[in-house]
């Protein structure tokens, strides 16, 4: 696993989240806070987004059968990072849903009443099924809050959980997930950075005699510290720890194994000067673009002049092509054009190849997509799976070619 510059990682995750909520005109961020490391880190990210945008973070601790230490930490996190935080116990919702499920399975007589523990132990029930039902009851409550506040529900799944399938459909997955590209060990790495960061901020405020500011930063650092100390669990009461269910001794081992088996040499090969983590799909996109240019060279009578990549950040997410001595990047097609050329003065140099230009720093997706349409002759778009067919990039391509997303 690579060592990341977590200050830059945090900066980029905040920027991506802020851009998403602003572009989609959302009025609130809604987060379920378990006290675990994932929801704690997402709370810290959303807190910074709220400071920058004025869009409030609404947090809820939703204990059903959580351990007492998890519940205590969830309150520390919620009070430290949220603009609006409270505790709600959705046990009645869970019990009602569980009763209906048992009735559907023929385990209970609807005319009778049962204790919660009795329902959970009915023949049709399993610990995993009960845990998933708890997660879905929580998510139902969070989405209702988001609907009332014209906001979105934040997801808290990391890449390790995604690769393992260690999450509940309609129970964990919300509308936007800031940490979906981080391994679990990287989530802890980011948490450790944030703990030290807030501690330093508290000391700085103390030196400047800003007591209230100092107390706020101390609360943030303390919340993250206590979250890091917790044994990671799914918050569903299925087992004593996540690692018990996964069957591993630690997350470092899990992440090392997973990073070897996903179809990329290294999931975290690099990240650029803006701190943007290199997603494996970005590597695929870079390879695809270079391959497209090379395969279509026969359609041009000469070397095409430029390839322009439009990107949101001040620096591009990835670099395409080969870097020349002049510091610019080019699609290296020298072999194709120089085949059979005997006179060295007629050889195509790397600097003669298609140059890659980067245009970035757009305020929103719409501005970027408009520039793509206005200034390009050919579109090359890379969409990350089905969910991205409703993205701005997809809409831009479909509009340009009079196509339908259906």
Q: In the chain, what are the domain boundaries?
A: 6-261, 280-400
Q: 18, 313 in Cβ contact below 8 A?
A: no
Query: pLDDT value at position 215?
Result: 94
Count the Cβ atoms, other than its own, within 10 Å of residue 403: 10
Range name among 117-126, 325-334, 363-372 with the lowest pLDDT average = 363-372
Q: 81, 49 in Cβ contact below 8 A?
A: no
- Taking phi first (over 0 means left), then psi (-120 to 50 degrees means alpha), and beta for anything else, what does residue 170 get? left
Per-residue pLDDT at 156 exceeds 90 = yes
Highest mean predicted confidence (pLDDT) among 132-136, 161-165, 168-172, 315-319: 132-136
Which tens digit of pLDDT belongs to each residue from 356-386? 888 887 777 677 777 776 766 665 555 554 4
Q: 37, 191 in Cβ contact below 8 A?
A: yes
- As beta bridge partners, residue 61 has 87
What are the C-alpha distances in Å from 300 to residues 286, 293, 296, 304? Answer: 21, 10, 8, 7
Q: Dig out the tokens for 255 from the structure.
A: 């992440």
Q: Which residues contact 405 (CB under 8 A, 6 or more apart)?
A: 389, 390, 394, 395, 398
Query: pLDDT value at position 78?
Result: 97
Q: 321, 356 in Cβ contact below 8 A?
A: yes
Q: What are phi and psi of 69, to 5 degrees?
A: -70, -35
101 vs 276: which has the higher pLDDT: 101
- Look at residue 89 and give its three-state secondary structure: coil
- As beta bridge partners, residue 57 has 29
Buried b (16+ CB within 10 A) or exposed e, 283-308: bebbeebbeebeeeeeeeeebbeebe
| Max Cα distance, the chain (Å) | 95
Highest mean predicted confidence (pLDDT) among 2-16, 63-77, 337-351: 63-77
> What does the alpha-carbon distance between residue 107 and residue 331 come to, in Å, rounded to a whole number?
66
- As beta bridge partners, residue 84 has 58
- Look at residue 234 and give its three-state secondary structure: coil
149 vs 321: which has the higher pLDDT: 149
Q: Dig out the tokens for 154 from the structure.
A: 């934040």
**Percentage of the chain exceeding pLDDT 90:** 42
In CATH terms, the fold of domain 6-261 is Rossmann fold (3.40.50)
Per-residue pLDDT at 33 exceeds 70 = yes
Per-residue pLDDT at 224 exceeds 80 = yes
Highest mean predicted confidence (pLDDT) among 146-150, 305-309, 318-322: 146-150
146 vs 209: which has the higher pLDDT: 146
- As beta bridge partners, residue 322 has 330
Strand 57-61 relative to strand 29-32: parallel, antiparallel, unpaired?
parallel
Strand 306-310 relative to strand 152-153: parallel, antiparallel, unpaired?
unpaired
Which tens digit of pLDDT belongs to each residue from 161-212? 888 888 888 888 889 999 988 889 999 999 999 999 999 999 999 998 898 9
User: In terms of Cα–Cα distance, which of 64, 47, 36, 57 is closest to 10?
Assistant: 47
């Amino acid at each position: 696993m690579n060592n990341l510059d977590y200050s830059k990682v945090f900066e980029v995750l905040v920027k991506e989240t802020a851009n998403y909520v602003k572009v989609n005109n959302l009025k609130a961020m809604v987060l379920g806070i378990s006290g675990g490391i994932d929801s704690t880190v997402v709370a810290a990210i959303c807190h910074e987004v709220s400071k920058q945008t004025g869009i409030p973070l609404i947090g809820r601790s939703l204990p059903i059968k959580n351990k007492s230490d998890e519940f205590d930490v969830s309150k520390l996190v919620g009070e430290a990072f949220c603009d609006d935080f409270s505790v709600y116990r959705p046990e009645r919702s869970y019990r009602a849903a569980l009763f209906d499920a048992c009735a559907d399975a023929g385990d209970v007589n609807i005319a009778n009443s049962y204790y919660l523990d009795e329902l959970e132990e009915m023949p049709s029930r399993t610990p995993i099924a009960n845990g998933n039902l708890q997660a879905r009851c929580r998510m139902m409550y969070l989405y209702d809050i988001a609907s009332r506040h014209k906001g979105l529900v934040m997801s808290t799944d990391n890449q390790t959980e995604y690769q393992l399938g260690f999450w509940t459909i309609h129970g964990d997955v919300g509308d936007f997930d800031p940490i979906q590209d981080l391994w679990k060990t990287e989530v802890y790495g980011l948490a450790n950075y944030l703990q030290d960061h807030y501690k330093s901020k508290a000391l700085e405020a103390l030196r400047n005699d800003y007591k209230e500011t100092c107390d706020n930063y101390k609360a943030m650092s303390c919340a993250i510290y206590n979250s890091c100390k917790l044994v990671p669990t799914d918050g569903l009461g299925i087992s004593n720890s996540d690692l018990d269910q996964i069957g591993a001794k630690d997350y470092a081992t899990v992440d090392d194994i997973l990073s070897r088996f996903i179809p990329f040499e290294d999931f975290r090969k690099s990240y650029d000067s803006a701190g943007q983590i290199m997603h494996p799909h970005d590597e695929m996109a870079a390879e695809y673009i270079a391959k497209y240019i090379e395969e279509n060279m026969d359609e041009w009578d000469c070397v095409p002049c430029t390839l322009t990549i439009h990107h949101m950040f001040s620096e591009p997410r990835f670099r395409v092509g080969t870097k020349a001595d002049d510091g610019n990047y080019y699609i290296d097609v020298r072999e194709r054009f120089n085949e059979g050329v005997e006179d060295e003065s007629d050889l195509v140099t790397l600097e003669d190849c298609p140059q890659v230009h980067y245009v970035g720093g757009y305020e929103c997706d719409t501005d970027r997509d408009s520039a793509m349409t206005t200034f390009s002759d050919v579109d090359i778009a890379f969409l990350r799976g089905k969910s991205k067919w409703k993205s701005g990039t997809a809409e831009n391509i479909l509009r340009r070619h009079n196509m339908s997303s259906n």
